[in-house]
Amino acid sequence: MGLPSLLFGAAHYLNGFGPADGVLCALQATLLGLACADLTARTGNIGAAIGLHLSNNLFAFLIVGEKGMPSSGLVLFLYPATDHSQFDYGLHTLAKPWIIPEMLTITLLIGVMWLAARVALRR
């Protein structure tokens, strides 16, 4: 379960705007990969994992977004456009205090989706 999840996370590293954002994207994808691997192990097929991945992506594409981004026409909450070149996304950014609540929120969201899928599979 661990190695495929790490590879899944590594494949999502380039989704970030810099090294620090890439690490956060990779960590989120690794957590999602672990949740999907657990669902696959519990059910014996990949269907539940596909559903969890789809629900995660739908949240990312339909709930919140940034103006001017490729999926900005579909989102419910649209934030103003940001010039990402003005921010420093170096690895030292990972030591900033706002990283902790962001990672806790990401972990909680993935955990809730995973738990909902586990409860649904129990029935």
* Structural domain total, the chain: 1
Helix, strand, coil fractions of the chain, as percent rounded to 5? 70, 5, 25
Residue with tokens 């994207």: 25
The answer to the question of residue 116 being in a domain is yes
**24-36: pLDDT as tens digits:** 999 999 999 999 9
pTM given for the model: 0.86
pLDDT exceeds cutoff 80 at 123: no
**89-99: pLDDT as tens digits:** 888 888 888 88
Q: Mean of the per-residue pLDDT values for the chain?
A: 90
Domain housing 55 = 2-78+89-122
The answer to the question of residue 57 being in a domain is yes
The answer to the question of residue 23 being in a domain is yes
The answer to the question of residue 47 being in a domain is yes
The answer to the question of residue 84 being in a domain is no
The amino acid that residue 51 corresponds to is G
**40-80: pLDDT as tens digits:** 999 999 999 999 999 998 888 888 888 887 777 788 988 88
The answer to the question of residue 83 being in a domain is no
The answer to the question of residue 108 being in a domain is yes
Confidence of residue 113 (pLDDT cuts 50, 70, 90): very high
